[in-house]
């Protein structure tokens, strides 16, 4: 059994604690036994062969006890070293054929200005609070935007250097029973005046709750209004084009896809930089083109302005009507 990082370090601790306790009991018992056996009674025993001054002691069975104790100690220590090394190799890289890193939740962590910033692999970003699903493995890539930091979650036995221009990888896996808990994230590298305030929180969520939260982050809402702030329900189409990932297909929505001038798009899979284009379908409005950096829910309202030719026509019709 290896399991989570917490499981691994708990196993190492318990093994060392158990063996240390056992060795301590044996050593103390042996010392007390010999102290009692060879206690000073004030009178030498009849069969006691005391050495004379300057004479080397004899007996001891050729040092067999000494070599036996050294041999047992060596076997125990070498076995512990090999076993512990294997456990720590698992901590460094737990990936195997059934659990590759790409199948886990990947999060980039950046320390800067005495705060922690998180970016999920789909482009969603958050500050201070890192949300993860309970019972699932999370891979962290830590870096820094200013000075040296060290990202750490004590309760998950996680620590990774955050160095400017470099990335340190580590992982953790919460237990399913930890769902609903919040655990503290700390900086473990003295980084400046406000080092002690560089804290965040790990929010462990039920998997379904996490998926719902992520879906809410991947939502875009657009509203079309005219210059009088009235909803516009026809005469345009909206196109979304991802600027950073060519595998994300362009999306086009006509005015018929809007409900009373508003559309909510909740099937987006990738956040990031989008090019938003609003084109008139009947030449009535001026086209609009801008970029949106989606790092969370988007809620935008656009004012559709009449194009110059349409404005002149409307003005002429108004004047003609007034003249009649």
Q: Tell me, yes or no, whether 72 and 137 share the same domain.
A: no
The domain that contains 268 carries what CATH number? 2.60.40.1120
Q: Tell me, yes or no, whether 4 and 78 share the same domain.
A: yes
Does the reported pTM lie above 0.75?
yes
Q: Tell me, yes or no, whether 167 and 261 share the same domain.
A: no
- At residue 210, does pLDDT exceed 90? yes
- At residue 220, does pLDDT exceed 90? yes
The rounded mean pLDDT for the chain is: 87
Interval 51-94: pLDDT, tens: 667 766 665 565 677 788 888 889 989 999 999 998 888 888 77
Q: Tell me, yes or no, whether 129 and 200 share the same domain.
A: yes
What beta strand segments (E) does 165-268 contain?
168-173, 182-187, 200-205, 220-225, 236-242, 251-254, 262-265
Q: 79 lies in which domain range?
A: 1-34+62-92
The domain that contains 133 carries what CATH number? 2.60.40.420
Residue where a domain stops, chosen among 206, 227, 262: 206
Residue where a domain stops, chosen among 206, 227, 249: 206
The number of distinct structural domains making up the chain is: 3
Q: Tell me, yes or no, whether 156 and 232 share the same domain.
A: no
- At residue 209, does pLDDT exceed 90? yes
- At residue 315, does pLDDT exceed 50? no
The token pair at 289 is: 């083109």
Q: Tell me, yes or no, whether 199 and 241 share the same domain.
A: no
Q: Tell me, yes or no, whether 200 and 290 share the same domain.
A: no
Question: Could you give the C-alpha distances from 22 to 18, 27, 102, 314, in angstroms and in order?
Answer: 6, 9, 43, 96
pLDDT category at 28 given cuts 50, 70, 90 is very high
């Amino acid at each position: 059994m290896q399991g989570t990082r917490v499981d691994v370090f708990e196993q190492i601790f318990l093994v060392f604690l158990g063996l240390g306790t056992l060795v301590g009991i044996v050593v103390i018992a042996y010392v007390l036994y010999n102290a009692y056996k060879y206690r000073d009674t004030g009178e030498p025993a009849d069969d006691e062969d005391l050495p004379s001054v300057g004479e080397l002691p004899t007996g001891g069975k050729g040092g067999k006890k000494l070599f036996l104790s050294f041999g047992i100690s060596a076997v125990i220590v070498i076995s512990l070293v090999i076993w512990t090394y294997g456990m720590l190799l698992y901590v460094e890289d737990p990936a195997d054929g059934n659990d590759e890193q790409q199948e886990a939740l990947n999060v980039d962590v950046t320390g800067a200005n005495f705060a922690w910033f998180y970016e999920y692999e789909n482009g969603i970003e958050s500050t201070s609070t890192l949300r993860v699903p309970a019972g699932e493995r999370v891979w962290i890539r830590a870096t820094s935007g200013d000075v040296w930091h060290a990202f750490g979650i004590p309760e998950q036995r996680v620590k990774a250097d955050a160095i400017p221009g470099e990335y340190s990888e580590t992982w953790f896996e919460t237990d399913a029973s930890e769902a609903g808990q919040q655990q503290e994230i700390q900086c473990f590298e003295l980084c400046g005046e406000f080092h002690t305030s560089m804290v965040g929180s790990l929010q462990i969520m039920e998997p379904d709750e996490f998926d719902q939260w992520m879906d809410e982050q991947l939502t875009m809402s657009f509203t079309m209004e005219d210059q009088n702030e009235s909803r516009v329900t026809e005469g345009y189409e909206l196109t979304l084009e991802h600027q950073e990932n060519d595998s994300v297909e362009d999306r086009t929505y006509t005015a018929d896809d809007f409900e009373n001038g508003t559309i909510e798009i909740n099937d987006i899979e990738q956040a990031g930089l989008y090019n938003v284009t609003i084109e008139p379908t009947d030449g009535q409005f001026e086209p609009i083109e801008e970029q949106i950096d989606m790092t969370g829910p988007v809620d935008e309202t656009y004012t559709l302005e009449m194009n110059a030719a349409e404005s002149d026509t409307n003005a002429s019709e108004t004047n003609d009507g007034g003249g009649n």
